[in-house]
Copies of this chain bind each other. A is one copy, B any other.
Amino acid sequence: MPKYVYFFGGGKADGDGSMRNLLGGKGANLAEMAGHKNLKLPVPPGFTITTEVCTYYYDHGRKYPKELEKQVVTAMKGVEKVIGKKFGDTKNPLLVSVRSGARSSMPGMMETVLNVGLTTKTIPALIAKTNNERFVYDAYRRLIMMYSDVVMEKGAGIEPKDDEGIRKQLERIMDAKKKERGVSLDTELTSQDLKDLAEAFKIKVKEVLGTDFPDDPYKQVWGGISAVFASWNGKRAIAYRKIEGIPDAWGTAVNVQAMVFGNMGNTSATGVAFSRNPGNGDPRFYGEYLVNAQGEDVVAGTRTPAPINEAATSEHNKNEVTLETFMPKPYKELFAIQKRLEKHYRDMQDIEFTIEDGKLWMLQCRNGKRNGPAAVRMALDMVKEKLITKEEAVLRVTPAQLDELLHPIIDPNAEKTAVILAKGLPAGPGGASGVVVFSSEDAIAADAEGKKVILVREETNPEDVEGMRAAQAILTARGGMTSHAALVARGWGKCCIVGAAAISVDLNSKSMKIGDRIFKEGDWITLNGTKGNVYEGKLAMVDATENSLLFEFLKVCDGVKVLKVRTNADTPADARKAKTFGAEGIGLFRTEHMFYGENSEKPLFALRKMIASSTTEERKKALDELFPFFKEALKGTLEAMDGYPVTVRLLDPPLHEFIPRDVAAQKDIADSIGISIEEFQKRADKLHETNPMMGHRGVRLGITYPEITQMQVRAILEVSAELINAGKKVQPEIMIPVTCSVNELKDQKAIIDAVYKEVVEKTGVKKLQYSLGTMIEIPRAALLADQMAEVADFFSFGTNDLTQMSFGFSRDDVGAFMGDYLNKKILADDPFQTLDTEGVGQLIAYAVELGRDVKPAMKIGICGEHGGDAKSVEFCHSVGMTYTSCSPFRVPIARLAAAQAAVKEKNAAGAAKSKKSAPAKKKAKKAKKK
């Protein structure tokens, strides 16, 4: 009989921590905590319904396997035995929670029902047992609110009228009751108030949803289980999975667990803690708790929690009493447990606990999410503490986390004099400026228009996820460091401030009030997510690269990685910046850079003259004018790289791109050549192309106009010679773009060789060496890479063009259908963002193989957008490239990704080896036995 239910509690467990895929993260960890010989923690007993049941459920029209019911009942009996209570019992009734638990955590995305098992029959018994009528009726009204919302409405797929869910309607009844009673806090309501509320709730539920609130404990528990499974395919969960890249097929497990109560009065509490500070990596135990509360109160951020200890105390909560002071015994036990857990899991732990009437219960533990600075600090600390190896440390920081350290922060000088509007909790580091918006939809719309926005909310909820993603930063008026907004922002490494209580948001007028000031939608503010400060206006930003831990961590990466990391840089400034980030050369210097932006006027004019030339003579004249600009543009960059290799790509874009639209500008050029404006326009029209991306560009220009190649190569070699003669080190590499045949390379090589001879003669330089390579960006070049390698000293994959040609997607036009392609899951990723390893990757791997067949030590790299994308860098490593090249700011990411790729490869090789040797070991064992 297939096993669908796994029991845990009382010092043992059916499962263990390795069964994440089957039991979900939470279920596996509960089993591990409860059952592992080193732990055996005080976990409330319970059982996990496996993810296979979820898959079965969806594969079979929302039906369960027939064996499930019996297994659930058996497991429930086991729970009863361990805890000494009985489910639905009229003497000592057991209450349970029903929670989701997927393989990968999806905070707040899925449903939970607490206090399941409270019925009109069990209530008196629980009152008698706890001697706390108020607590029982509070639990009951909570059950009704939660259950009617999660199970009876959402779980049943009922769309609320006027967008007013049952929960809101019940909350309104409760608010009315508070008003009636003249109180403002839930805790101020009496036992009778709560009893009355429960009755009123049940009537409303029946009225709104058409069914009675179930009074049978097993009916409740099955309702809870179904609601959890249903929530796996809820809109929010699907949206979250899409963003996080979690497969729909994984499914979720369901954990049914004995309830313990943090809300049984002032000897009870509940909290969330981390074995190290997830916001900055401080190695001290860190956390928040609420007295007399259930876990949902902490996560929802409706009450501002207190710090568990001195280390968790901040400006914001310094007046609250710590758990350490308030409940020293359970705190001590908790402290010891978190130490043990961290040692056991060898990573920072995120812990949920409840203290019921003085007794500590562990509800959950898992590897804690952390932001970038924290991840880096923890990784380095843990290496020093000998908790993990350097290889492991490299895997402990995601590229996205590292990216956070590269995010801008507010210019300290600007910040000094800036006016603080409000203070909140520093939930996501870095700085951000933007115009305020007050809804997720507005954030998405404004982002689509290219505006930088800051999403301001009273508090966020899962419905806000997409708006949060679109925003530069998030600011909430309520909630703590473990509130929804804080969790989500941390996961994304996004600047975020929560619990900025001075702010009150008015959704109707789309404005917020801070003190007596009003900020309307579209007003600029600036956040310092590291300090929790909100400033007026738009402050200057600087980059955060002065973080010394960053560089320490990157050195660890360098010690592990194999792939070299170069940069794409076209200016001395970029080259220098990239070098400080650790670039080991330039993989792509675009000669055409000099025609864009600052100081481009004169070279652009000369280029346009060249383009408008119709005879070789005219063209040569224009090229002579261009020549000094080419030399000038190259000189600074070659100098800045100080002997590191610099790959100079010859002119690449279609010439028509450079023709001025402006008639006055056209006339200037026409005059300078000595032709009429009509003649100029005629020539320009002739250059127009139907599909310029596949037109007269790259090496094709060099073939039809050899003098264009000559001029560029002369510039590269002359500058190099001059620098060498001045005692400098240079390592120029000449790269031919858009090739599709080795004959193009042969043709261009002949030109280059001739120019080389002339330059050596003219400058008298000794030791001028250069290498000649080609972009592999046309599918045919990849297919015939063995031929290309006969002439080329190196390859550089131009994955932008290679992706365009392999897919037949014009990057400029893909917008018309890429949205549908991603929505309909025709493609998993936008191939211009993440390299399509399946298709384009085949061509690359094949070309690397062919190239190395001819030249085994061939230098092979990648340049273009993908060179700094972590997944793509891993691929580059896996096919054995020599280097990747990316924009200066992506260099650290690429170094990390390269290191991770190396470690993963090593680990995989190790795993394969140990797998392979398993039968061998068995044999050895058998032999021994004999």
Contact = CB atoms under 8 A, between A and B. Distances in A.
B801 A779 contact: no
Contact of A704 (B692, B784, B804, B817): B817
Contacts of A704: 816-817, 820
Contacts of A741: 826-827
Interface stretch (A14-22, A581-589, A695-703): A695-703
A805 B779 contact: yes
A852 interface: no
- Counting chain B CB atoms within 10 Å of each CB, which of A695, A836, A843 scores highest? A695
Which interface residue of A693, A694, A804, A817 has the most chain B CB atoms within 10 A?
Answer: A694
A864 to B, nearest CB: 15
Contact of A694 (B808, B825, B840): B808
Contact of A689 (B743, B805, B813, B825): B813
Interface in A794-831: 801, 804-810, 812-814, 816-817, 820-821, 824-827
B817 A696 contact: yes
Contacts of A816: 689, 695-696, 700, 704
A37 B813 CA distance: 73
A776 to B, nearest CB: 12
Interface in A150-165: none
A816 to B, nearest CB: 4
Interface string A736-764: 00101101100100000000000000000
Copy tally for this chain in the complex stands at: 2
Contact of A784 (B692, B743, B825, B839): B839
Given A691-B693, A692-B690, A836 B743 contact: no
Contacts of A836: 780
A597 to B, nearest CB: 22
Interface in A641-698: 689-696
Interface in A863-901: none
A812 B691 contact: yes
A809 B703 contact: no
A649 B891 CA distance: 47
A703 B805 contact: no
Given A703-B821, A824-B747, A826-B743, A812 B689 contact: yes
A825 B808 CA distance: 27
Contact of A807 (B689, B747, B778): B778
A778 B806 contact: yes
B778 A808 contact: yes
Contacts of A812: 689-691
Contacts of A689: 810, 812-813, 816
A839 B783 contact: yes
Nearest to A694: B810
Contact of A840 (B700, B738, B780, B806): B780
A16 to B, nearest CB: 38
Contacts of A315: none
Given A740-B807, A743-B825, A805-B806, A813 B779 contact: no
A842 interface: yes
B826 A747 contact: yes
A838 interface: yes
A821 B700 CA distance: 9
A694 B815 CA distance: 12
A842 B812 CA distance: 29
Nearest to A820: B704
A535 to B, nearest CB: 40
Interface string A837-853: 01110110000000000
Nearest to A780: B839
B695 A813 contact: yes
A813 B694 contact: yes
B780 A810 contact: no
A446 B355 CA distance: 98
Contacts of A694: 691, 693-694, 804, 807-810, 813
B691 A810 contact: yes
A700 B807 CA distance: 12
A821 to B, nearest CB: 7
A740 B838 CA distance: 11
B806 A780 contact: yes
Given A693-B694, A806-B783, A703 B820 contact: yes
Nearest to A740: B807
Nearest to A838: B784
A706 to B, nearest CB: 10
A693 B695 contact: no
A813 B696 contact: yes
Contact of A813 (B691, B813, B824, B843): B691
Given A778-B806, A808-B738, A817 B690 contact: no
A375 B236 CA distance: 75
A483 B740 CA distance: 43
B695 A843 contact: no
B810 A808 contact: no
A95 to B, nearest CB: 47
A827 B693 contact: no
Given A695-B810, A704-B816, 19 more contacts: A689-B810, A692-B810, A694-B809, A694-B810, A694-B813, A695-B813, A695-B816, A696-B813, A703-B817, A703-B820, A740-B806, A743-B825, A744-B826, A747-B824, A777-B808, A778-B806, A778-B808, A779-B843, A801-B808
User: Across chains A and B, which 10 residue pairs bring their CB atoms closest together, nearest first?
Assistant: A691-B810, A694-B810, A780-B839, A695-B813, A690-B812, A696-B816, A743-B826, A778-B808, A689-B813, A691-B691
25 contacts: A689-B813, A690-B812, A691-B810, A691-B813, A693-B694, A694-B808, A694-B809, A694-B810, A696-B813, A696-B817, A700-B816, A704-B816, A738-B808, A740-B806, A743-B827, A747-B824, A778-B806, A778-B808, A780-B807, A783-B806, A783-B842, A784-B838, A784-B839, A801-B808, A805-B808
Interface of A: 689-696, 700, 703-704, 738, 740-741, 743-744, 747, 777-780, 783-784, 801, 804-810, 812-814, 816-817, 820-821, 824-827, 836, 838-840, 842-843
